[in-house]
Chain A
Amino acid sequence: MELHLTLVFNGLATGMLIFLLAAGLSLIFGLMSVLNFAHGALFMFGAYMGTWVYILIGGWDSNLGNLNFFIGMAAAAGIGIVLGYLVERFTVRQVYGNHLRQILITTGVMLVVGELVKVFWGPNVIRVVQPEFLTGYFAVGDVRLTYYRVFIIIFSTVILALLLFMLKKSKLGIVVRAGVENSEMIQALGINVRKVFTLVFIFGTMLACIGGFMWGPYQGQVNPAMGLDLMLIAFIVVAIGGLGSVAGSAIAAVLVGLSEAYMAYYFPPGSLAVNMLIMAAVLLIRPTGLFGATR
């Protein structure tokens, strides 16, 4: 029993981190119909930038105490905003409506960002320690719950709740939901959908960069391949959850996280195959994903 509780706990933490990467991708895909192959690279850049700042100001033994972790997170969010704006403004905006060009140009961005990371921080793995206040664990029965994983679950759940609240209640959120369904009609109502596109792209990139930063201490390292590794998982999550659905992304991410945790324990080489099977099964039953709108 303890084993299963531990695996579920680990799966939840992994899933919620994947959610941070996949939520933005899903909105970008759903609203803008943009196949953003650079999303994983932006996640990685956020990880490096946040980690660099986090380490630069002293890591866990800095005089700033635990604040340096949050400064690192803010740096990741900040670079996410800047990169999101630059990538949307100078590359993606030129190729709206053309999937082939989107794939080519975002793959180009992915390669450039990947090389930039190697230029700035080198090709080797950088070790990242968890902040002091999140090291260690507490026990519930025989199950050990590490503080960092609990933090990931709580933090990502708060982000999910805020995102759902914003999408449900705010005017911008309603515009985004409407735009995911029919961006042409949104324009006919007097809304500049391009501005909404830019905001969503920036927001999605920012979430990915925050997720990237949090991934470092979770795995104990950042490396130049981490974006590519997780990109495929994120696309699987988006396909399972349904394009443009944040709730769908969250559920699918948890599903994939649980499958990762179980497969990592029982049969690690089969992890990706099982995720693919889950995706295929969901798409066979619901071609638009769990919560995807039929167009």
Chain B
Amino acid sequence: MLKIKDLHTHIEQFHILQGVNLEVPEGSVTVVLGRNGAGKTTTIRSVMGFYPNVKGDILFQDQSILQQPPYTIAKHGIGYVPEDQDIFAGLTVEENMRVAMRKEDDKTRERQEWLLDLFPDLKLAWKRKGGHLSGGQKQMLSIARALVNDTPLLLVDEPSKGLAPIMVEKVMEAMNVIRETTTILLVEQNFIMASQLGDYFYMIDDGQTVFEGEMKLLQEDEGLRKKYLGIA
């Protein structure tokens, strides 16, 4: 569904990504792993078109989306859940959902209902402002907002970051439901979450893809985990 070919991203004078290659098969959860500063977030943000100075190619459903503006990329059906959720703090939960709706038709409302069943906390906080939500609720809202339109591919950047363990579990449960209908590219530092959700993984180090394979390979190879993630 998504192919990244020899991706190079420059941010100001820095050459951050120096050859990332990655493929996300339809119906899978593909996880991008790596140490802090390896280039995981830059990869996902490059896919979303946030950086003007990008070389290589990014194909979504066999069409190049390189150099397209973020709003066009989103309209192709790519949802984005940023690292810090980026909830609109001054807008209510309802308004956060509404602002994301590209069409306010029956299908979109049905999808919204489905998402509210998936995240009942949001229903309870429906009229509350985004800035007054807990970290977990913000994460749920960020995911729900990205999925309220027809979204074949979801890019999720560190959904477990800063969340209490109970909230991480809730988010994981939800992701397990979402994966049934949506292909996911997940950036995650939490190896437990990554290994439980992921079908495939890509290891990024110093802005390059250095290893890839099925997730069970990484689960079984302690040396590999130690070498690239610093965990046993």
Contact between chains at B95 and A174 (CB < 8 Å)? yes
- Interchain CB contact (< 8 A) of B91 among A178, A187, A192: A178
- Size bracket of the B interface: 20 to 34
Contact between chains at B70 and A188 (CB < 8 Å)? yes
Per-residue A-contact encoding for B139-151, CB less than 8 Å = 1, 0 else: 0000001100100
- Interchain CB contact (< 8 A) of A189 among B50, B69, B95, B100: B100
Contact between chains at A182 and B86 (CB < 8 Å)? yes
In the complex, how many angstroms separate the beta carbon of B71 from the nearest chain A beta carbon?
Answer: 5
Contact between chains at B88 and A190 (CB < 8 Å)? no
Contact between chains at B99 and A189 (CB < 8 Å)? yes
Per-residue A-contact encoding for B44-71, CB less than 8 Å = 1, 0 else: 0000101000000000000000000111
- Size bracket of the A interface: 10 to 19
Contact between chains at A177 and B86 (CB < 8 Å)? no
Q: How far is the CA of A191 from the CA of B104 in the complex (A)?
A: 14
Per-residue A-contact encoding for B80-94, CB less than 8 Å = 1, 0 else: 101000101111000
Contact between chains at B82 and A192 (CB < 8 Å)? no
- Interchain CB contact (< 8 A) of B149 among A182, A190, A192: A190
Determine the residue in chain A with the shortest Cβ distance to B142. Answer: A185
Is A290 close to B, CB under 8 A? no
Number of A-B contacts (CB under 8 A): 61
In the complex, how many angstroms separate the beta carbon of B190 from the nearest chain A beta carbon?
Answer: 23
List B contacts of A175 (CB < 8 A).
99
Q: How far is the CA of A132 from the CA of B20 in the complex (A)?
A: 73
Is B127 close to A, CB under 8 A? no
Contact between chains at B71 and A187 (CB < 8 Å)? yes
Q: How far is the CA of A158 from the CA of B75 in the complex (A)?
A: 37
List B contacts of A182 (CB < 8 A).
86, 88
In the complex, how many angstroms separate the beta carbon of B40 from the nearest chain A beta carbon?
Answer: 17
Is B74 close to A, CB under 8 A? yes
Q: How far is the CA of A293 from the CA of B98 in the complex (A)?
A: 20
Contact between chains at B98 and A174 (CB < 8 Å)? yes
Is A229 close to B, CB under 8 A? no
Determine the residue in chain A with the shortest Cβ distance to B145. Answer: A189
List A contacts of B98 (CB < 8 A).
171, 174
> Of residues A186, A188, A192, A293, which shows the largest number of chain B Cβ atoms within 10 Å of its Cβ?
A188
Determine the residue in chain B with the shortest Cβ distance to A293. Answer: B90
Q: How far is the CA of A184 from the CA of B146 in the complex (A)?
A: 14
Is A181 close to B, CB under 8 A? yes
Q: How far is the CA of A185 from the CA of B74 in the complex (A)?
A: 11
Contact between chains at A192 and B50 (CB < 8 Å)? no
Is A28 close to B, CB under 8 A? no
Contact between chains at B69 and A186 (CB < 8 Å)? no
- Interchain CB contact (< 8 A) of A191 among B71, B82, B90, B146: B71
Q: How far is the CA of A188 from the CA of B85 in the complex (A)?
A: 12
Give 5 A-B pairs besides A184-B70, A184-B86, A190-B71 with Cβ atoms closer than 8 angstroms: A174-B95, A177-B91, A188-B71, A190-B75, A293-B89
15 A–B contacts from the bound complex (CB under 8 Å): A178-B96, A178-B99, A180-B90, A181-B91, A186-B99, A187-B69, A187-B70, A187-B71, A188-B70, A188-B74, A188-B80, A189-B71, A191-B99, A192-B69, A293-B89
The 3 closest A-B pairs by CB, nearest first: A190-B74, A187-B70, A185-B86
